[in-house]
Structure 1
């Protein structure tokens, strides 16, 4: 067999083997790596390259070596899942870098991290003042996580005592101009509903690059032609305006009627409508 053919066959075989072993090791191998996972990835990559190009060595020896590395990695991963002590020994512990707005210089030196590198990592978290940080910690994988002081944390509906409706994952119902029936069925919708919504937007199906439906049944589309602006669905805004109008009408009827019984009834209905609007506002304003 010519050398170039043998190299090609070995390379294809190595790719298949490497992909299979990576699938066995799991998704952590392609995300943030621990120290051992980093070493494992480099070593398996080098062994795979050697299998592809070293024609003087037997390819099955490289396969044995990769198998041993994968088995050791799986064994260590099993120990990490079962033992906190093993996790701390293999991955290391998290290190506090900032506490109560003060930099822990000794911990910076321990992690060989300069003040410039610390500030760079803080800026990635949109933090520009150390005094705004309540707590910053370096995780075992090298990532720095930051907790801002309470007064610098973003305002949320919970801070205002507002209950917000749950948000479910939007479903993609159109891709590349083709309707996806399974996501539509998941939402309890059909093609007829989708075609009706497209007609409301004045959009043809074949011109839609991506179409998504949120948990409230609103369709949002992205067209192939980026110059065309698609109107944003206004159903929730229209419903909110209708409810406010009903509340206003009830108040007006209560003010204009001369019957005390009718006045009391309209005022009671107006208060009930106001309560309904308050409960629905977080949903209608999403």
Structure 2
């Protein structure tokens, strides 16, 4: 077999098993990653890359290595679901960096975490004055969770005694790319007749619709192919 054909076939196979492995291991692997997830991801990617183009490595050996690693990660994930100790060992534990408004230099030093980075992550939380912070914690995936002092918290409707009824519905997509999403319509006890009536009110047909959602208040939000915007503010 010519080398270029072999590389193409190996690449297709590598993509297929990498996709299958990611589906098996779940969404957490591709979300914000902790240390275990990071190591798992780069290891799987490295093996898949070698499988794709390194023709000097036996095909079956690389495949066995990939499948074995997927199974190891999968088994460890199952064990972590049942054991808090294993979760702590694999993912680590959150670390306080601010407690009662005081910066915990010892904890920061243990993580090699600088004041510059602390301030950067606070700014990403829209906090420019560190005196507003009562507690700040670095989670296992590296992002920061912050609790402000009560006097700096945002005012809510509850604080103002402005109570509202709970939303009646969860927003549901009913049309996408000019086609009805039958599964969503059936599962949420909607009817095509209701959708057709809503379209008629707006003098639209199904083929005119890019996207339509039954919103939380029961009305139908519709976006059409023709937006009637002649001078977009920002156009690619």
Superposition TM-score tier, normalisation by shorter sequence: 0.7 to 0.9
SS of residue paired to 1:192? helix
Normalised to the residue count of structure 1, the TM-score between the two structures is 0.73
| Contiguous gaps of at least 5 residues in structure 1 | 229-286
Q: For the residues of structure 1 that align with 2:193 and 2:52, how far apart are their CA atoms?
A: 55
SS of residue paired to 1:62? helix
Question: Residue 109 of structure 1: CA displacement?
Answer: 1.7
Distance change in 2, residues 1:76/1:183 (3 Å): closer
Q: Relative contact order, CA 8 A, sep 6+: which one is greater?
A: 2
1:149 matched to which residue of 2?
A: 149
Question: Residue 151 of structure 1: CA displacement?
Answer: 2.0
2:233 matched to which residue of 1?
A: none
Q: For the residues of structure 1 that align with 2:66 and 2:118, how far apart are their CA atoms?
A: 37
Give 1:59-208 correspondences, 5 Å limit. Answer: 59-167=59-167, 168-208=169-209
SS of residue paired to 2:112? coil
Distance change in 2, residues 1:16/1:202 (3 Å): same
Residue-pair matches, total: 229
* Greater alpha carbon shift after TM alignment, 169-178 vs 59-68: 169-178
Q: For the residues of structure 1 that align with 2:172 and 2:21, how far apart are their CA atoms?
A: 33
1:236 matched to which residue of 2?
A: none
8 Å Cα contact 1:102-1:130 kept in structure 2: no
SS of residue paired to 1:134? strand
* Greater alpha carbon shift after TM alignment, 202-211 vs 145-154: 202-211
Q: For the residues of structure 1 that align with 2:181 and 2:163, how far apart are their CA atoms?
A: 33
Give 1:34-53 correspondences, 5 Å limit. Answer: 34-53=34-53
Q: What do you get for the CA RMSD once the two structures are aligned?
A: 2.2
